[in-house]
Amino acid sequence: MTSFEDRVNILLVDDRPDKLMALEATLESLGQNLVPARSGKEALRCLLRQDFAVILLDVNMPVMDGFETASLIRQRKNSELTPIIFVSAVNDAETHLSRGYSLGAVDYILAPIVPEILRAKVNVFVDLFKKTEQVKRQAVEHAQFIREQAARTEAEAAQRRAAFLAEASSVLAAASLDYRETLQNLAQLAVPTLADFCWVDMLEKEGAVMLMALAHSDPSKVAFLHAVREREPLRLDIPYFVPKALRTGRTEVLTDLSDAALESLGWKPQHREIARNLDMASAVIVPLVARGRTLGAISLVMAESGRAYTAREISLAEELAQRAALAVDNALLYTVAQEARSEAEAASNAKDRFLAMLSHELRTPLTPVLNTVQALQADPALPAQLRPSVEMIRRNVELEARLIDDLLDLTRISKGKVQLNLETVDAHELMRTTLQICQDEIEAKLLHIDLELAATRCLLHADAARLHQVFWNLLRNAIKFTPAGGRITLRSSNFAQKHIRIEVIDTGIGMTSEMLPRVFDAFEQAEHGRLGGLGLGLAIAKAIVDLHRGHITASSAGPHLGATFRVELETAESTNAAGENASSGQVATSAASSADTAKTESNAASSDAQRHDVPAREKITNQSGNSVRILLVDDHLDTILSMQVLLQRRGYHVTTAGSVQAALKTASQHEFDVLISDVGLPDGSGMDLMRSLRQSRDKATLIGIALSGYGMEEDVARSRAAGFDDHLIKPTDIQTLEASIERLRAGALSALDG
């Protein structure tokens, strides 16, 4: 029994119901869908809705007979080949047959109809229709299968492409300054996915082509091609495919690399021989282009595998080249940036060395001038009328030294090399000390000073010397810009529970609103430098306050209305007593830590003396204050002579030397208690001298003071490491030098007592 889904449609067309019923009864046993139609028009409507295996069409029908209906059926595309069997009761066989067959009829049956014959004929067309539909379905299914296979193949290819590009990206992500290894890994990745062998060329300066990477499964062929390239390097002017891709920046595809094809391209016989030895069959050369510039090219060659390049593989090669070009370009940019950074660092270091050397050369001649001025001031025979002039010389020498220090301070601060030695200090005491130092300038301008120190919490955890530098800069600034007879107020207050505010208020020239945002910038000066100076003091003051995690601000009501500078700092009560860093990246040393270090060093010196059976305390205490023996070493004649005079006037026994060798010879012949040495000497370094003397058992307790125009932190650290106990920066006044000598001698005695 035929299932409903397997049934086909049979169209029965007749204007008489009894004849339709007879046809249905006759064909019912076929088990198909019998569709009746009572006119030609109704038959055409049925054909619009469905397809039929065969049509039984009555010839004699009113309005539209069977032949007219058949003619219209044949005009429709879907029914132009549908089998039509004419059924007629009129015996005009010859005329009807001729007309029926002309309309594409497959048969012509006259009434009375023999049921068995009709069923047999209809069944033939039913079977034919079913087989035709089956073939159609199979064709559709096959086409669907082909499409699915193609889609699956495309998806697998896309997956392989994505995986390949992901691996390539991983290789390229490892690019560094030396990207040769990265390109070699990339070439090995391309074999065998994209090529039987692959190489990468980079375009060098002046048109040179450099082989950067080469990969092949056969090591002998790698060696062969390397030898070929070393023997005959590529040039841009060679008419071959790699130079052409480098010149044009476009992909080159060669589908035929046979000897004849290469000869037609202009290849020389020896180069065609190379292609034969490598079994080259086809190639793709993709340029590496980044930011509109051709950097090199990737050459992909099919050889012994016999594969040919498809559009998909060419597209993949171009995608690979784009990523490689980006990685190479980034590496080149990074290299350029690193070189620029190195050059900038070298320039910065050269500037630092220049500043250090300049400061040394500027300070060295200031030392004998300052020494001579101090000697003149101490001489009671100096005429009174000359004393103001001598004082003017001293003041200007000290100002010159201060300007040099400002330049070096700015350099140190900008490089983050300033170290804070933290201890508990009294802000009021620092302000009073600053006021005393500037007293002469205040009196010279007849300035009125109001000291309003109202803060009840004034202890700070700070670097006393650096904070004193801030107060000194602010007070000097106020004195400088306040006219004679003006007023300066120094004020303190606790504006918050754990903070102190220090204000320096003047009635000077004031500042414009345009000047205020730049007042703490380096080299910025009011009145365009009319009052002198480099404009560094306030910049240095701000940097020091920042290092102390404080705030400094400036305000002014306008020109000639004075200015106010405020410094706000955290008080010691809320500061970590262990001495945390005052600023990120800066080294902070507590007073206790410094004392412990000094004590440790002194103890080490004492222990060293005891190991060598040297009566260290006796050697120190046997020398009274006016019989200390000093070895003074400096190659600057004016400095050494002026300093010798000043030290001898203070009762010290001074022996001089102008070089390392002279000092060592003198030290081998005489005993000394103190070495005062310049760092830079004609035949070596003062540090070499100090190390040599420290190594001698007779000089283990020798006190060393470095006296130098080099004052950077690293200079001080080097002199300390060499064994010097102190590092004084030129020009050094005699009081500072003498204070250092006595302090170090007292420390040595205290260490021995401990």
List CB contacts of 314: < 8 A, sequence separation 6 or more. 251, 253, 284
Q: Give the pLDDT band (50/70/90) at residue 577.
A: very low
525 shares its domain with 634: no
Report pLDDT for 545: 93
Place of tokens 């205040």: 442
Is 238 a member of any domain? yes
Q: 615 and 746 share a domain?
A: yes
pLDDT above 70: residue 571: yes
Same domain, 188 and 263: yes
Angle of helix 464-481 relative to helix 427-437, nearest 10 degrees, comes to: 50
Whether residue 579 sits in one domain with residue 597: no
The torsion of the CA quartet 139, 143, 146, 151, rounded to 10 degrees, works out to -160
Residues 575 and 440 occupy one common structural domain: yes
Exposed, middle or buried: residue 550 (CB in 10 Å: 0-12, 13-18, 19+)?
buried
Maximum Cα–Cα distance across the chain: 170
Question: 726-729 and 653-657: which strand pairing?
Answer: unpaired
CB 207 within 8 A of CB 236: yes
Looking at residue 525, its pLDDT comes to 58
| Contact yes or no for 431/407 (Cβ under 8 A) | no
Arithmetic mean of pLDDT, 166-181: 69
Q: Label the pairing between strands 726-729 and 209-216.
A: unpaired
Query: Is residue 626 located within the same domain as residue 577?
Result: no
- 485 pLDDT band (50/70/90 cuts)? very high
What is the CATH number for 469?
3.30.565.10
Identify whether 405 is part of a domain.
Answer: no
**Residues 613 and 447: beta-carbon distance below 8 Å:** no
pLDDT of residue 518: 86
State the virtual CA torsion across 489, 494, 495, 497 in degrees, nearest 10. Answer: 170
Confidence of residue 175 (pLDDT cuts 50, 70, 90): low
Question: In angstroms, rounded to a whole number, what is the distance separating the alpha carbons of residues 327 and 720?
Answer: 49
What residues make up the domain containing 206?
174-309
Domain end marker among 533, 566, 586: 586
What pLDDT is attached to residue 646?
86
Q: What is the pLDDT of residue 632?
A: 94
Q: How confident is the model at residue 95 (pLDDT cuts 50, 70, 90)?
A: low
In a domain, 352, yes or no: no
pLDDT at residue 512 is higher than 80: yes
Give one DSSP letter per residue of 587-643, joined into a string. -EEEHHHHHHHHHHHHHHHHHHHHHTT--HHHHHHTS-TT--EEEEE-S-HHHHHHH
pLDDT at position 581, please? 37
Q: What was the pLDDT predicted at 154? A: 75
- For the domain that residue 238 is a member of, what is the CATH number? 3.30.450.40
Residue 609 lies in a domain: yes
The reply to whether 94 and 185 lie within a common domain is: no
Regarding beta strands 459-462 and 420-426, do their DSSP bridges make them parallel or antiparallel, or are they unpaired?
antiparallel
3-class DSSP state of 561: coil
Is a pLDDT exceeding 50 seen at residue 538? yes
Last residue of a domain, one of 569, 586, 603: 586
DSSP E strands in 622-746: the ranges are: 629-633, 653-657, 674-677, 680-681, 684-685, 703-708, 726-729
Q: In what order do the strands lie in the sheet with 448-453?
A: 448-453, 487-496, 499-506, 563-570, 551-555
Cβ contacts of 273 within 8 Å, gap of 6 or more: none
Is the pLDDT at 170 greater than 80? The verdict is: no
CA 38, chain centre distance (Å): 88
Query: Is the same domain home to 430 and 573?
Result: yes
Q: What is the mean pLDDT of residues 174-195?
A: 78
- Tokens standing for residue 650: 């203070």
> What is the DSSP code string of 469-484?
HHHHHHHHHHHHHSPT
For the residues 342-360, what does the mean pLDDT come to?
A: 73
Domain for residue 450, yes or no? yes
95 vs 660, higher pLDDT = 660
Residue 515 burial (C-beta neighbours within 10 Å; 0-12, 13-18, 19+): middle
Cβ within 8 Å of residue 164, ≥6 positions away:
189, 193, 194, 316, 320
Euclidean distance between CA atoms 34 and 12, whole angstroms: 7
CA 277-280-283 angle, to 5 degrees, is 150
Residues 6+ apart with CB under 8 A from 327: 172, 173, 175, 179, 182
Mean pLDDT value across residues 343-355: 74
Q: Tell me how crowded residue 81 is: count the other CB atoms within 10 A of its CB.
A: 9
Tell me the HSE value of 60 on the side-chain side, using a 13 A CA sphere. Answer: 11
Phi/psi of residue 249, nearest 5 degrees: 75, 20
**Residue 178 binned pLDDT confidence (cut-offs 50, 70, 90):** low
Mind listing the pLDDT tens digit for each residue in 735-754? 888 889 988 888 877 766 65
The pLDDT, as a whole number, for residue 416 is 66
Q: Could you report the per-residue pLDDT of 217-233, keeping only the tens digit for each?
A: 888 888 888 888 888 88
Its pTM stands at 0.43
| Packing angle of the helix pair 637-649, 734-753 (nearest 10 deg) | 60
User: Which of 567, 570, 595 is closest to 580 using CA atoms?
Assistant: 570
The total number of structural domains in the chain stands at 4
Which CATH number goes with the domain that contains 101?
A: 3.40.50.2300
Residues 38 and 179 in one domain: no
Asked if 43 contacts 13 with a C-beta cutoff of 8 angstroms, the reply is yes
CA 569 vs CA 163, 470, 476, 496, 710: distances in Å:
61, 12, 20, 10, 32
One domain for residues 667 and 728: yes
pLDDT value for 520 = 86
pLDDT at 365 over 80: no
Residue 350 lies in a domain: no
pLDDT at 603 over 60: no
Domain boundary at 291, 309, 327, which? Answer: 309
Is a pLDDT exceeding 80 seen at residue 27? yes
Are 10 and 131 in the same domain?
yes
Crossing angle (nearest 10°) for helices 17-27 and 115-173: 70
Q: Rounded distance, CA 728 to CA 707, Å? A: 5
Quote the percentage of the chain above a pLDDT of 90: 26
- Residue carrying structure tokens 């703490």: 520
Amino acid at 45: R
**CA distances to 419, 463, 731 from 470, in Å:** 15, 11, 21
Give whole-number Cα distances, 271 to 195, 255, 455, 584, 754, in Å.
20, 18, 93, 65, 89
pLDDT at 575: 42
Pairing relation of β-strands 499-506 and 726-729?
Answer: unpaired
Indicate the pairing of strand 448-453 with strand 487-496: parallel
- Residue 128 located in a structural domain: yes
Strand partners, 657: 633
Q: CA 751: distance to chain centroid?
A: 52
Residue 244 buriedness (CB in 10 A; 0-12 / 13-18 / 19+) = middle
Cis peptide preceding 83, ω within 30 of 0: no
Instruction: Render 439-506 in DSSP notation, one character per residue.
Output: HHHHHHTT-EEEEEE--S--EEEE-HHHHHHHHHHHHHHHHHHSPTT-EEEEEEEEEETTEEEEEEEE
Sheet containing 197-203, strands listed edge to edge, beginning at the edge strand earlier in sequence: 209-216, 197-203, 293-302, 282-290, 252-254
In angstroms, what CA-CA distances link 611 with 239, 614, 672? 84, 8, 20
Start-to-end C-alpha separation, the chain: 124
Shared domain for 433 and 553, answered yes or no, is yes
In a domain, 85, yes or no: yes
